[in-house]
Homo-oligomer: A and B are copies of this chain.
Amino acid sequence: MKYVAILGFGVVGSGVAEVLSMNENKIARHVGDKVKVKYILDLRDFPGSPFEKLVTHDADQVFNDPDVKVVVETIGGARIAYEYTKRALSMGKSVVTSNKELVATHGPELMDLACKNRCIYLYEAAVGGGIPIIRPLHRCLAANRVVRIAGIVNGTTNYILTNMRDNGVSYEEALKQAQANGYAEQNPTADVDGIDAQRKLSILSSIALDGTYVAPSEIHTEGISGLSLDDIDFAGKIGCKVKLLAVFNNGDEGSSVYVAPHFVRSTSVLYPVEGVFNAIVVEGNALGEAMFYGQGAGKLPTASAVVGDILEAVMPVDAVAYSHNWSVPSNEGRVTLPYEKSVVNIVVRAPLASQEEVNNAFASYDVQTVLEDGEYACFVRGISNAEADDIVSKINGASKMHLYE
């Protein structure tokens, strides 16, 4: 059994407990052992929570328990979190965090402390929420000189900008709606002034420069509060959208790092990134351009990244390197469903004359139909290939294609 302690039972901390519980078996298979939360350290009690009994207010109890080899810091901020992180690392307990402020502010000291005490400080969740970006940048791109990073790394501001554009509302109104929908905090400063993006860029740049620390204080930062609807409209007229980008540019003269609103052209891979989604473009001198896209925040997505780090931290060190291992199922049979039994979404294409026939044939499915140029398209969802083939073969002139949406 591998035991972890969660410090701070807020949105992310409770998400971590939930993911460890809901994916218990999958995680045990991956690690080769069970991973259990032994303590949840918080000032509050959580009556009624399924994790109620694990809650403690006594930090000494958590830190002095030799069973706890990995500590999850989901407190946030750079005060108590900083003290607890130093305490854990000094004792040789690995720490896993989603705390971008702490990593951006005290990263060098904390990583050094981890190194000296032969434990790990991991922070995949600090940038891009659940999107894998820290490990890919640090390991998969290790062979590259990172030439450029450009990222939509703050979902709140992207939600506001998307709303302004799509619904023609003012910045103030869009912010109010974001607050009402839980996408912006009551004090939105860290998001709308670009501070959150600045911290994330500090982290990405430090990795891109192979460990040379780029302090948040040296990152020129502009937020979105000065943007008007007119800016957004103008962007549209010239084939652009306005996005708050965190930019790292590694030029011959030196690196440029800044957070600022940008006109993003429709030809760019960042153009379609809307609402609370994040996307980070990384350009390496060998790789060329790659993009990482997904939900940059939220309870379970962020917890997904934190738990991914936990699973690395709890494993015996050599297992980290050796853990790819595929097994052939013992029954010698196939692992997956036969194609005929696979349930898919399809588009059935048929002559207009067959419209009624098609509708009747798929009446029991979730269908949506489109008429086009004397032809008929029927979107059918949740049907097995065998049944789809069977039905389509009976309709004169009909054919089918898989649908991805």
**Chain A residues within 8 Å of B, Cβ to Cβ:** 15, 19-20, 22-23, 26-27, 29-30, 107-108, 111-112, 114-115, 118, 120-122, 124, 130-132, 135-136, 138-145, 150, 205-206, 209-215, 218-220, 231, 234-235, 237-238, 240, 242-243, 245, 247, 249, 251, 253-258, 260-265, 267-270, 272, 284-295, 298, 300-301, 303-308, 310-312, 317-318, 320-329, 334-339, 341-344, 347, 349, 370, 372-373, 375, 377, 401-405
Name A328's contact: one of B213, B234, B257, B267 (CB within 8 Å).
B213
Q: Is B336 in contact with A214, judged by CB distance below 8 angstroms?
A: yes
Task: Determine the distance from Cα of A231 to Cα of B139 in the docked complex, in whole angstroms.
Answer: 42
Contacting residues, chain B, for A375 (C-beta < 8 A): 234, 237
Enumerate the 7 nearest inter-chain pairs by beta-carbon distance, A residue then B residue, closest first: A256-B342, A143-B307, A290-B294, A220-B339, A132-B140, A132-B136, A286-B304
Q: Which residue on chain B has the smallest CB distance to residue A284?
A: B304
Number of copies: 2
A-B contact pairs, 20 of them (CB 8 A): A20-B143, A23-B145, A29-B211, A30-B142, A115-B322, A131-B290, A132-B141, A139-B312, A141-B304, A142-B312, A206-B326, A213-B327, A234-B372, A238-B370, A251-B343, A256-B341, A268-B405, A288-B298, A292-B293, A317-B320
Main secondary structure of the interface of A (DSSP, over half): mixed
A295 close to B305 (CB less than 8 A): no
Q: How far is the CA of A349 from the CA of B205 in the complex (A)?
A: 30
**Which among B140, B150, B219, B339 is the interface contact of A308 at CB below 8 angstroms?**
B140
Among B135, B212, B289, B301, contact of A287 (Cβ-Cβ < 8 Å): B301
Other CB < 8 Å A-B pairs besides A142-B307, A287-B305, 9 of them?
A: A19-B143, A132-B139, A143-B310, A211-B326, A211-B327, A212-B327, A214-B335, A268-B404, A291-B293
Q: Within the complex, what minimum Cβ distance (angstroms) separates A208 from chain B?
A: 10
A283 to chain B, nearest CB (A): 10
Q: Indicate the member of A260, A342, A377 with the most B CB atoms within 10 Å.
A: A342
* A29: nearest chain-B partner, CB-CB: B210
Q: How far is the CA of A243 from the CA of B373 in the complex (A)?
A: 22
* A108 with B327: CB separation less than 8 A: yes
Closest-CB distance, A121 to chain B (whole angstroms): 7
A135 to chain B, nearest CB (A): 5
Check A254 against B287 for contact (C-beta < 8 Å). no
Contact A289 B294 (CB under 8 A): yes
* Residues B263 and A401 in contact, CB atoms below 8 Å apart: yes
With A130-B290, A336-B255, A402-B261 in contact, is A23–B300 under 8 Å at CB? no
In contact, B308 and A317 (Cβ under 8 angstroms): no
Closest chain B residue, CB of each to CB of A236: B372
Which residue of B122, B140, B289 is within 8 Å of A124 (Cβ)? B140
